[in-house]
Structure 1
Amino acid sequence: MRVLVVAAPLPGHLTPLLPLAHALWDSGHEVLLAAGAESVSPGTAGPLPFIDVARNVRVGRAAARSVLTHPVAARAELAGQGSDSGLRSLFGPVNEELSDAVVTVAEQWDPDVVVHEPLAVAGAIAAARAGVPAVLHENGLHDGAALFRAVLDSRPMDRARRRLGVTTVPPPAVMLTIAPSSLVGIRDGLPVRPVPAAVVPGGEEVPGWLQAPSERPRVLVTPAGGPVRGNLQFSALRAAAELDCELVLVRPHPRIARRAGPGVKIVGRIPAEDLLATCAAVAHGGSARSVLGALAAGIPQLVLPGPGDRRLNAQLVEARGAGIAGPVTAESLDRLLHDGELAAAAREVRGEIAAMPPPQSRVEVVTTLA
C-alpha cells in the first residue's frame, strides 16, 4: 500500500513522524514524505522519497502578516501564551498555500492513507478530496486534536476547501500520540513511543571522553534555537562557574566557545541520544524533541520557556517533577544536579516511555485502514 506523510514546512515538524514512516517502509509499504525543505535535517529521511510541497509557501511572509493583522495574538504566541487565534492567523494561511501542492501530489501519487501532523491540515484536505482515510500523528506535547481543529476552522482553510471542492473533512480515522500520559493526561489517541530520528550521515563520532563517566557531574547544554530571548549557553557558562560540574556545549557560537574554560567541553553534530547517555542533566530551549529526548534518557532537565509550545513544554516538565522551567542560574543548575526527587521522576517517565508501543507495532493500525 501507499502512505503519504505530510508535515508543515517548519524545522522539526516532520521529524517525529519519521519513525512510523521508516517502520512502514521497512514493512514493505511505499512511503512518500511531503513537506518543506526545512522540515527535516538532511539525511534523516534515509531511503524514504521526499517531495518539497512548500516551494511557493512563504512562512516568514505569513508570520509577518500575522503580526500586522493580529498583533495581540502574535505577541502572545512569542511569549508562549498563544491561543487558537494565534494558530489560525499563522498556520491557516500556511496551510492554504500548502493545500494545492499536497492535493496535486495526492492526485498524482494516489495514496491509500495519508498520515499528517496536527499543523499540516493540508494533509487532511488532500485525504478528504481523494476519499482516503487520514491518520493524525502528534509531534509534540500539545493536544494534537485541538491544534488540528483550530487550524481547520480558520478562514483561510474555508477558502481552501471551497477552492478545492472539499465540503467536509472527516475526523481522523486514527490519532497517534507520542506524549507520555503522566505529563499530559490520558488522550483518545493510540500511544506510540517517541524515538530519535535516524542518525545524520556525516555527523561527528562520539569522542572517547564522552563515552566514559565523568569525574564531575556532566551537564549538556544545547543551543536554544528559535526566537528565544537571551543566550542559554552563555547563561550556563556564567552559572556553572560557581558549581563543581562539567559543561558540555553543543555547537556553541564562536563568541561563546572562546569564553569556555578548562571545565567546559564542546561537541559538534552528534546524535542527542549519544550525548545524553553519560550526562547527569541537560539544559535546552524547550522544543518537544528536546523534552522527550531527555525524558527518554531519564535525566533531569532545565527547560527554558519560550515562544510557541516551549512555555507549555516547560510547565509540563516542571509539573511532572522531572525538571525545572528556566532561567539558567547557579541555583537552578545546582538543584538540577542534586535534587533526588527530580532524578527519580525523570527515571519514572523513562520507564513510561519505554513501555509505550514502538512505531513498528502501529504499522498494522495504519495499513488496515486502506
Structure 2
Amino acid sequence: MRVLVASAPLLGHVFPLLPLSLALRDAGHEVLVATAADGLAAARSGLPVRDVAPAFDFGRIARGVMLRHPLIARAELTGTAGTRGGALLFGQVNEELADGLVALAREWSPDLVVYEPFAVAGALAAARVGVPAVRHENSLFDGRELVRVTSERLTRALRRHRVAAIPPPAGAIAVSPPSVVAQDGWPMRYEPYAGGGELPGWLREPGERPRVLVSRSTVAGPGGAGPMRAVVAVADRVDAEFVLVRPDGRLSRSALPANVRTVDWIPLNAALPAAAGLVHHGGAGGVLGALAAGVPQVATLGPGDRRYNARLAADRGVGIAAPAGGITADVLTRLVTDAELAAAAGQVSREIAAMPPPAELVARLESLR
C-alpha cells in the first residue's frame, strides 16, 4: 500500500505524524511525507519527504493575514480567536500547498492519504485522485471543526481542482487522552517524535535537586521565546535545577543563575522521565509530551491555541496555566512540590499508555483500501 502523509510546513505539525508513518513503513508499506519549508525536517526520520511548495514562506503568510484581518489578528495574539484565526492563516497555507499536493498525488498514485487538520489540502488531493483519506489529529482542538473552517477558506483551490467540497474522511485518529479532551476517531497513543539531537548523560538520571526543563516554540513569532526569560529571572529563588532547551542566542550568552544550565536540541521525550517538571510555551506538543511522561507542567497563556491548551492542562489538574510574565518563584516551587499535580500527571500518563500504539492502527488503515 502506498500512503501519502500530508502536513502543514511546520515542525510541530509534521513530527506528531511520524510515529504512525514509521509504523506503516515498518509494516512494509510505502510512505511519502508531503510538506514544505520547516516540515522538510521530517526527513530526519529516514522517511522520504517531498517539498510540495518550494516558495513557501510562513512569515509572509502570517503577516498578510494579520494586515487584512486586524481584529482577528489581535484576538489570535491573545489566544482568544478560537479556530477563527487558524482558519484564516491555514486557509492561505493550504491554498499554497494544494497544487503541489494534487500534482504529487497524480504522479505517485497513493492508495491512501493521511492528513492533519491544518493540512486539509491533503484531503483535497485524495478527493481529486479518488482515494480514501484519514484525518490524523495533532492538536487538542476538534479536528472536525478545524477542517470545516479551514475548508471554507479553500474555495479557490477547490474550484481549480474541480472538487465540490472536502468529503468526510474514511477514518480519523484521535491522540488526546479522553480525560483531557475527547476527540473524534480511533484512539492512538501519543508518542512524541524527538526530531534528532543527542541526550547528554547527565539528563538521563535525576539530579540532586528537582530538575525542570524549559522549552520554547519551534515557530518564530509572537510568544516564540516562551517563558525562558521569566524562569531565569526567578530561578535563583527556587530549590530546583533548570535546563533551558534551545535558548535564543542572547539568553544563552548572558550570565545565568548557578542553578540554570542550557542545552541545544535534545530528544525532549527522553529527558522528561528524569525531570520533575516542564515549563513550555503552551503548544499541543508540550502539553501532550509532558502528559505522556507523567510530568507536571507550566503552560503559558500565549497566542494561537496556547491559551486553550494551557487551560486544558490546568483544568485536568496536571499543570499550571500562567502568562509568561506571571511565572514566579512560587509558581515554579509549586510545580516541583505539589503532590496533586504529580498524581494527576501520573494518572494521565497511564491513560495514554493504555491507548493503542501506532502499530495497532496499521490494520485499520489497511482495511480502507
TM-score (ref. length: structure 2): 0.94
Larger mean Cα displacement after TM superposition, 108-117 or 74-83: 74-83
Assess if the C-alpha contact under 8 Å between 1:98 and 1:122 holds in 2. Answer: yes
Render the CA deviation track for 1:104-149: whole Å, top value 9, x for unaligned.
0000000011000001111011111111110000111111111011
Q: Distance in 2 between matches of 1:263 and 1:84?
A: 39
* Among 174, 177, 183, the residue aligned to 1:177: 174
* Among 242, 258, 262, the residue aligned to 1:247: 242
SS at match of 2:39: coil
Q: Which amino acid aligns with 1:271?
A: P
| Aligned residue in 1 for 2:35 | 35
Q: 1:223 to 1:168 in 2, by over 3 A?
A: closer
Q: Distance in 2 between matches of 1:124 and 1:244?
A: 50
Q: 1:73 to 1:271 in 2, by over 3 A?
A: same
| Aligned residue in 2 for 1:131 | 130
| Aligned residue in 2 for 1:217 | 210
Q: 1:241 to 1:40 in 2, by over 3 A?
A: farther
| Aligned residue in 2 for 1:99 | 98
Deviation for aligned residue 1:290:
1.1
Q: 1:183 to 1:234 in 2, by over 3 A?
A: same
* Among 200, 212, 215, the residue aligned to 1:206: 200
Q: Distance in 2 between matches of 1:136 and 1:223?
A: 27
Q: Distance in 2 between matches of 1:41 and 1:230?
A: 21
| Aligned residue in 1 for 2:55 | 56
| Aligned residue in 2 for 1:303 | 299
Q: Distance in 2 between matches of 1:94 and 1:229?
A: 19
Q: Distance in 1 between matches of 2:195 and 2:18?
A: 12
Assess if the C-alpha contact under 8 Å between 1:175 and 1:188 holds in 2. Answer: yes
* Among 227, 235, 248, the residue aligned to 1:232: 227
| Aligned residue in 2 for 1:115 | 114
Instruction: Check if 1:7 corresponds to 2:22.
Output: no
| Aligned residue in 2 for 1:293 | 289
SS at match of 2:172: strand
Assess if the C-alpha contact under 8 Å between 2:45 and 2:195 holds in 1. Answer: no
Q: Report matched runs for 1:258-297 at 5 Å.
A: 258-297=254-293
Render the CA deviation track for 1:302-329: whole Å, top value 9, x for unaligned.
0012111111110000000000012311
Q: Distance in 2 between matches of 1:248 and 1:113?
A: 42
Q: 1:205 to 1:119 in 2, by over 3 A?
A: closer
Q: Which amino acid aligns with 2:257?
A: G
Q: Distance in 2 between matches of 1:218 and 1:58?
A: 37
Assess if the C-alpha contact under 8 Å between 2:18 and 2:42 holds in 1. Answer: no
Q: Distance in 1 between matches of 2:359 and 2:248?
A: 38
Assess if the C-alpha contact under 8 Å between 1:138 and 1:144 holds in 2. Answer: yes
Render the CA deviation track for 1:11-69: whole Å, top value 9, x for unaligned.
321111111110000000011100013115365332x1110012133332322221122
Question: Share of identical aligned residues, percent?
Answer: 50
SS at match of 1:181: coil
Assess if the C-alpha contact under 8 Å between 1:206 and 1:274 holds in 2. Answer: no
Assess if the C-alpha contact under 8 Å between 1:7 and 1:34 holds in 2. Answer: yes
Instruction: Check if 1:197 corresponds to 2:193.
Output: yes
| Aligned residue in 2 for 1:347 | 346
Q: 1:329 to 1:41 in 2, by over 3 A?
A: farther
**Unaligned residue ranges in structure 1 (runs of 5+):** none
| Aligned residue in 1 for 2:79 | 80
SS at match of 1:262: coil
SS at match of 2:9: coil
Q: Distance in 1 between matches of 2:134 and 2:317?
A: 32
Q: Distance in 2 between matches of 1:125 and 1:180?
A: 29
Q: 1:138 to 1:113 in 2, by over 3 A?
A: same
Q: Distance in 2 between matches of 1:64 and 1:260?
A: 34
Q: 1:269 to 1:43 in 2, by over 3 A?
A: farther
Q: How many residues align?
A: 363
Larger mean Cα displacement after TM superposition, 131-140 or 63-72: 63-72
